[in-house]
Amino acid sequence: MIFEHDFAGGLIRATCSDGMGMIAISNPDRKNAVTAAMWRAIPQAARILTDEAHAHVIVLRGTGADFSAGADISEFDSVRKNSATAVAYEALNSRAFEAIRHCRVPTIAAIRGICYGGGFGLAAACDLRIAEKGARFSVPATRLGIAYPADAVQDIVNALGQQMAKVALFTGASMSSEKMAAVGFLLEEVEASVFDQEVSALAHAIAANAPIALHASKLAIRAVIEQDGDLLREAEVIGAETFDSADYAEGRAAFAERRKPHFTGK
pLDDT for res 189: 96
Mean pLDDT of 45-69: 97
Most confident of 149-158, 188-197, 221-230: 188-197
User: What average pLDDT does range 257-265 have in this prediction?
Assistant: 85
pLDDT at residue number 241: 87
Pairing status of strand 12-17 against strand 20-25: antiparallel
Model confidence at 146: pLDDT above 80: no
In this prediction, residue 155 carries a pLDDT of 94
Kindly report the three-state secondary structure assignment for every residue of the chain: CCEEEEEHHHCEEEEEECCEEEEEECCHHHCCCECHHHHHHHHHHHHHHHHCCCCCEEEEEECCCCCECCECHHHHHHHCCCHHHHHHHHHHHHHHHHHHHCCCCCEEEEECCEEEHHHHHHHHHCCEEEEECCCEEECCHHHHCCCCCHHHHHHHHHHHCHHHHHHHHHHCCCEEHHHHHHCCCCCEEECHHHHHHHHHHHHHHHHCCCHHHHHHHHHHHHHHHHCCHHHHHHHHHHHHHHHHCHHHHHHHHHHHHCCCCCCCCC
State pTM to two decimals: 0.94
Query: At 176, is the pLDDT very low, low, confident or very high (cuts 50, 70, 90)?
Result: very high
pLDDT digits (tens, 9 = 90+) for 203-220: 999 999 999 999 999 999
Q: Is the pLDDT of residue 89 over 90?
A: no
Task: Work out the pLDDT band at 116, boundaries 50, 70, 90.
Answer: very high
The mean per-residue pLDDT over the stretch 155-168 comes to 95
What is the structure's pLDDT at 78? 79
At residue 231, the pLDDT reads 86
Dihedral sign of CA atoms 77, 78, 84, 86 in order: negative
pLDDT (average), residues 118-142:
96
User: What average pLDDT score do residues 6-30 get?
Assistant: 96
Position 86 scores a pLDDT of 77
pLDDT cut 70: percent of the chain above it: 100
Residue 254 has pLDDT above 90, yes or no: no
pLDDT of residue 131: 98
Q: What's the chain's length in residues? A: 266
